[in-house]
Amino acid sequence: MELLDTIKTLIKPILENNDVYLDDIEYLQENGEWYLRIFVEKNKGSLDMDTCVAVSEAISLKMDEEDPIKGEYYLEVSSPGVEKPLKTFEQVKASVGKYVYAKFINPTAGMDEVEGFIKTIEDETIEFEYLVKNIKKRIKIDYSNIKFIRLAVKF
């Protein structure tokens, strides 16, 4: 079993006991240091600091107990944040009606990015609604043409 799959299995009961779900997990090296980053979200409502601390402490104990990672690393448990990347098409589909920022692989209608609402998704075509000088516009982009997409904060 792959390392991240092993870790997911180890932490699953902890997440369930704290009414949170795993949004993402990554194990990577930055500046010569290894990091295990676990991003969690509350099943209902928003993640509060007390829950995040409880989950982090429980995961830390479990990781020390089972020791699936040999060597030193930093454990970081957090929410993915308000501008979380949408890494899968399923996450994009679950974000219909939300405000997002998307960067395109190939420019479409003279644009290489858009910031606006996901209005609809049909097959793999995403319809965005955005503003140009306070006038609502719409553009349709194939998911395969999305280089990067994340939730955004509207000011």
Is 84 within a domain? no
pLDDT of residue 65: 96
The answer on 35 and 64 residing in a single domain is: yes
Residue 27: CATH number of its domain = 3.30.300.70
pLDDT of residue 46: 84
99 SS3 class: strand
Question: Can you tell me which residue has the tokens 């420019």?
Answer: 107
- Integer Cα distance of 82 and 141 in angstroms: 23
Phi-psi region of 32 (alpha: psi -120 to 50; beta: other; left: phi over 0): left
Under 8 Å CB-to-CB from 4, ≥6 apart: which residues?
25, 26, 27
Helices (H), the chain: 3-17, 49-66, 89-93
The answer on 97 and 72 residing in a single domain is: no
Task: Using 50 as the pLDDT threshold, list the residues of the chain that sit under it.
Answer: none
Which amino acid makes up residue 133?
A: K
137, 90 Cβ separation under 8 angstroms = no
The answer on 95 and 70 residing in a single domain is: no
pLDDT of residue 1: 60
Q: Which DSSP symbol is given to 22?
A: E
Q: Which structural domain range is residue 130 located in?
A: 89-151
End-to-end Cα separation, the chain, in angstroms: 44
Per-residue pLDDT tens over the stretch 3-43: 999 999 999 999 999 999 999 999 999 999 999 999 999 98
